[in-house]
């Protein structure tokens, strides 16, 4: 038994590692395709790109791990069934349950590891990835001048190149606007030719200008232009140094992103949910007290006044008086004024309530829901790994087909169904169309019965994929026999 268990584990480890990294690679290519516009043309160093890809790969583990478990277990038992090794195992009296035991333990350990990863590693990787991706997307394009275009990527300078040579280092008819003093276009340099070189550390650009002019508006200390229009200086050669450090990747403090719900573990999520719930309850209580306090003066008003003599009134006035008995103390003009004031008061209170709900209540409720969704996701990942094993292992034993052909197709179908149902449930929970627990665990409720059914069929040697057994089932079933007779009668009656 020990040799058999070791053999089963060895047979599963290879496909698991292979499918896991293949899935990570596919998801990584999708990430690069999505953010290619934010990465290209910015002169990013290789270490920055590699770190970004590494952090992105770590964030893809929750999606890749269940698929790897499903595909590897399906391939393992499919290969064993295709090579008649399962038949040999059963022939010596070892049941499929015993043969699956080491891989079941392995799947259970993978599930525990998936939870630990989702709780401790994933928040850190998501923090590193999110902050680095934000900085990369905020980074300006690398220094590169296009012909006939005013380039303002360099803060303080606007440069226009008339034409460029093939080596991209020589520029003709260059124009440079100096805005470093924040006084507008008061200094302009034009030259017929310029050579551009970067310093070895890539932090400065050296412009060597030939045969040009520098125009400068004369201003006083306050920046106001003097009476004389401007002064100019002609030069045969001039060297201008421009700092490029502003184009370098500027890192943002990661502490600014730590409070996001995707960056928290289970303990931090529980604390955040409790704090937000307390704030929400406190806000609702304060609003209720303030609303009641505005009408506190009504409690001390004297409503026992003697009714005044009122002239003959119309039917409309009588209806108003029946609805509002207190209005009988006033004449028609006063009644209309009081009714208008009451309507305006109700409208103001309604607007205040809607503003308070939209501004304070609904955002906090949605934020609490987001925290609860992330909380459930950490447990759903680990359980999904275990359930997918109980789908892949018995299904592989039933179809008896290994390799990367049919098992890949079947795995993708099951995983797509799970993922689609999961996305639908999460969106329904996020929009409060469905209970959070039901929405988050909807996909698990869908695939769990399927895993139990396949495990039962595989362990009882049920002929699930046997065409002869299905043919006999349809032939002996009364409903299907009647359906076939009706179809045959319709064919003979209308199509012959």
Q: How far apart are CA 201 and CA 264, in angstroms?
A: 39
Is 442 among the domain residues?
Answer: no
Is 303 among the domain residues?
Answer: no
Which pLDDT score, from 0 to 100, does residue 307 have?
Answer: 44
Which pLDDT score, from 0 to 100, does residue 326 have?
Answer: 62
Buried b (16+ CB within 10 A) or exposed e, 239-250: ebebebeebeee
Q: 3-state SS of the chain: helix, strand, coil percent to 5?
A: 65, 10, 25
Half-sphere exposure of 446 (CA within 13 A, CB side): 17
Which pLDDT score, from 0 to 100, does residue 310 have?
Answer: 43
The count of structural domains within the chain is 1
Its domain, for residue 173, covers 150-247
Low-confidence stretches of the chain (pLDDT beneath 70): 1, 38, 40-44, 137-144, 152-155, 167-168, 182-185, 201-202, 218-230, 244-253, 295-330, 402-404, 461-481, 491, 493-496
Is 252 among the domain residues?
Answer: no
Is 73 among the domain residues?
Answer: no
Is 211 among the domain residues?
Answer: yes
Is 390 among the domain residues?
Answer: no
Kindly state the tokens that stand for 357. Answer: 């709900």
Which pLDDT score, from 0 to 100, does residue 265 have?
Answer: 87
Most distant CA pair in the chain, distance: 109
Cβ pair 262, 123 in contact under 8 A: yes
Residue pLDDT, tens place only, 330-373 = 677 777 777 787 788 878 878 887 887 777 788 888 888 888 98
Is 217 among the domain residues?
Answer: yes
Which pLDDT score, from 0 to 100, does residue 139 have?
Answer: 63
Is 193 among the domain residues?
Answer: yes
């Amino acid at each position: 038994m020990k040799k058999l268990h070791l053999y089963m584990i060895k047979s599963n480890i290879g496909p698991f590692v292979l499918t896991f990294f293949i899935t990570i690679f596919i998801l990584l290519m999708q990430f690069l395709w999505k953010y290619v516009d934010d990465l290209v043309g910015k002169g990013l160093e290789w270490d920055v790109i590699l770190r970004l890809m590494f952090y992105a790969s770590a964030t893809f583990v929750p999606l890749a791990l269940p698929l790897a478990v499903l595909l590897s277990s399906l391939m393992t038992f499919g290969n064993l069934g295709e090579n008649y090794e399962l038949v040999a195992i059963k022939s010596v009296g070892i049941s499929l349950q015993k043969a699956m035991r080491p891989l079941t333990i392995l799947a259970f350990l993978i599930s525990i590891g998936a939870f630990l990863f989702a709780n401790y590693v994933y928040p850190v990787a998501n923090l590193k990835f999110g902050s680095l991706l934000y900085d990369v997307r905020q980074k300006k394009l690398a220094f590169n001048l296009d012909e006939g275009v005013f380039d303002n990527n360099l803060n303080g300078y606007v440069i226009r190149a008339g034409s460029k040579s093939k080596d991209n280092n020589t520029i003709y008819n260059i124009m440079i606007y100096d805005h470093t003093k924040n006084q507008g276009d008061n200094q302009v340099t034009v030259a017929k030719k310029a050579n551009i070189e970067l310093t070895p550390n890539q932090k400065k650009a050296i412009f060597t200008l030939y045969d040009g002019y520098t125009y400068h508006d004369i201003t006083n200390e306050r920046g106001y232009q003097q009476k004389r229009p401007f002064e100019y200086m002609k030069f045969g050669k001039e060297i201008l140094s421009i700092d490029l450090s502003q184009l370098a990747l500027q890192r943002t403090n990661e502490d600014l992103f730590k409070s996001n719900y995707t960056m928290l573990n289970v303990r931090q999520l529980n604390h955040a949910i409790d704090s937000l719930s307390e704030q929400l309850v406190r806000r609702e209580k304060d609003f209720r007290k303030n609303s009641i306090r505005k009408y506190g003066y009504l409690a001390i008003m004297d409503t026992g006044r003697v009714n005044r003599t009122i002239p003959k009134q119309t039917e409309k006035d009588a209806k108003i008086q029946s609805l509002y008995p207190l209005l009988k103390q006033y004449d028609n003009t006063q009644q209309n004024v009081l009714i208008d004031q009451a309507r305006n008061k109700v409208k103001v209170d309604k607007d205040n309530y809607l503003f308070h709900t939209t501004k304070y209540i609904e955002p906090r409720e949605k934020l609490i829901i987001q925290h609860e969704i992330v909380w459930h996701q950490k447990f759903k990942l680990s359980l999904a790994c275990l359930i997918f094993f109980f789908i892949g292992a018995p299904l592989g034993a039933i179809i008896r087909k290994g390799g990367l052909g049919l098992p890949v197709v079947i795995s993708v179908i099951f995983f797509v169904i799970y993922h689609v149902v999961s996305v639908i449930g999460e969106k329904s929970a996020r929009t409060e169309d469905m209970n959070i627990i039901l929405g988050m665990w909807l996909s698990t409720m869908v695939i769990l019965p399927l895993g139990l059914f396949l495990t039962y069929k595989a362990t009882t040697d049920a002929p699930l994929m046997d065409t002869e057994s299905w043919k006999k089932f349809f032939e002996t079933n009364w409903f299907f026999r009647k359906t076939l007779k009706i179809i045959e009668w319709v064919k003979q009656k209308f199509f012959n």
